[in-house]
Amino acid sequence: MVSASLLIIGDEILSGRTQDKNLAYIATWLNEAGIQLAEVRVVQDIREDIVGAVNAMRAQFDYVFTTGGIGPTHDDITAESIAAAFDLPLTTHPEAYRILTEYYGAEDFSDARKRMSKTPEGAELIDNPVSIAPGFQVENVFVMAGVPKIMQAMLEMLRPRLKTGCKIWSQALTIHAPESKMASRLGDIQEEVVGVSLGSYPFFREGKIGTQIVVRSADKALITTAMELLEAYCSAHDILREGRADIV
Amino acid sequence: MVSASLLIIGDEILSGRTQDKNLAYIATWLNEAGIQLAEVRVVQDIREDIVGAVNAMRAQFDYVFTTGGIGPTHDDITAESIAAAFDLPLTTHPEAYRILTEYYGAEDFSDARKRMSKTPEGAELIDNPVSIAPGFQVENVFVMAGVPKIMQAMLEMLRPRLKTGCKIWSQALTIHAPESKMASRLGDIQEEVVGVSLGSYPFFREGKIGTQIVVRSADKALITTAMELLEAYCSAHDILREGRADIV
């Protein structure tokens, strides 16, 4: 199984001013690519915090994706922080410099904008079809923009560079009962059907208590086996259930 | 400044199946209480991962808040993980046991439900007015439910236990120009007006590029000073701007 981690960089997420939209998108995208997102961290725009998180994560996981902090302003310190994490100099990337000069025109290519052509030495660029200024890759670390549309485009650009694992399928069963009604049986099925992972997620809808049970596996047949055991238990114990959702 | 961190526990967030709603809520709530959320982590339902994150965070920050994993099912392993992090036995909390027995009735108080009365020895409960099963506190770690409505109620319950700092005010100015137009001036104002923090957040709306500049400070007068400098620069450089938002 290929593992990944995500580092979200930005004071604006931690202050509550901006609601992060990248976590859910990247989590789903990686899951569909058969890559397991195993940890996420959100840190402030502070160099030591970024360095510490990147170094911990790149040692532990196959991939590290970062979002945010690669624009032209004083609080965009991701490139210099990644350089520090790898103990590399921060240098002007010739190709980034070229495409940004071409885009802005030599006259409007200000010092602030030139910041966006700096990368750790030897970095490989990640194309940005939306607003030109590129992301970059150093070893197993992929540095992307924070603006969702740009990040999503960059993620597609780097898809060919990623090893992907087998897709994890999942299927949900919704029951109209608190999860404690099923809890002990869920634990048993988890042990009986080797190769599936069962999750149980309580909800309140229009004042009613219910639970969504999610069965996940790389093998669709095992999902069906577990699902049949769940439904049999519901029938035997008068637990109201909805039809199975599709396997996705 | 009082500092805090948030640990979100749950495979369902990392697989993309569930979109986390707690981060943004807690970030805003803490900011209004004058507590700075300095780091967030999301980890899987794996005991060593939870223990590692909790121990790193409780050493570094004044408070650690956790969400998720305190229900009755096999994948709810937060209580045992927190006990392990503090090297405390996991025991039945007498008061939790009492209120859960009263709520479910002795007959329906199954073994699965009894799991919800287990806490690290000596933990202090956090009341749950929504669905009874309590959260708990061990030293500077606050363990809450993952269901947003329950989490929000628990957060209110523990407000009196928290040291709060001074509120950080913020004010936003929206300009209809890419952030690189303002970047160099933003860096200067950040240095000139000591005690404010300037953030710059580019956006695309209906195909147009713009930037939201956010000025934050504990002192409203400093925000106004910085805002006047920003507006003067916009006027001098023909940068289209909207009216200032309220200070919030």
- Asked if pLDDT for residue A203 goes beyond 90, the answer is no
- Asked if pLDDT for residue B127 goes beyond 90, the answer is yes
- Domain CATH for A197: 3.30.70.600
**How many angstroms separate the CA atoms of A80 and A89, rounded?**
8
Same domain, B36 and B156: yes
Report CB contact under 8 Å: B15, A170: yes
Q: Which residues of A touch B182 (CB under 8 A)?
A: 73
**How many angstroms separate the CA atoms of A208 and A178, rounded?**
9
Q: Return the pLDDT at A17.
A: 87
Residue B8 CB neighbours (<10 A)? 24
- Domain CATH for B28: 3.40.980.10
Please name which of A49, A73, A63 lies closest in space to residue A126, comparing C-alpha atoms. A63
Same domain, A62 and A84: yes
Residue after which a domain boundary falls, among A145, A161, A177: A161
Same domain, A50 and A98: yes
- Per the listing, tokens 């302003």 go with A73
**How many angstroms separate the CA atoms of B13 and B39, rounded?**
17
Q: How far is A216 from chain B (nearest CA, A)?
A: 10
Report CB contact under 8 Å: B179, A39: no
Write the ipTM.
Answer: 0.86
- The confidence band for B86, taking pLDDT boundaries of 50, 70 and 90, is very high
Number of domains in chain B: 2
Q: What is the pTM of this model?
A: 0.86
Residue A246 in any domain: the answer is no
pLDDT in tens, A213-243: 999 998 999 999 999 999 999 999 999 999 8
If you average pLDDT over each of A61-65, A200-204, B155-159, B242-246, which comes out highest? A61-65
Same domain, A143 and A117: yes
Same domain, B55 and B144: yes
Residue after which a domain boundary falls, among B128, B161, B194: B161
Same domain, B143 and B187: no
Same domain, A32 and A70: yes
Same domain, B157 and B175: no
Residue after which a domain boundary falls, among B161, B177, B201: B161
How far from the centroid of its chain's Cα atoms is residue A45's Cα? 19
Q: What residues make up the domain containing A204?
A: 169-236
Non-local CB neighbours of A181 within 8 Å, separated by 6+ positions: A175, A211, A237, A239
Same domain, A89 and A16: yes
Q: Which residues of B touch A197 (CB under 8 A)?
A: 11
C-alpha distances in angstroms, A101 versus A111, A116, B72, B78, B192? 12, 11, 59, 52, 30
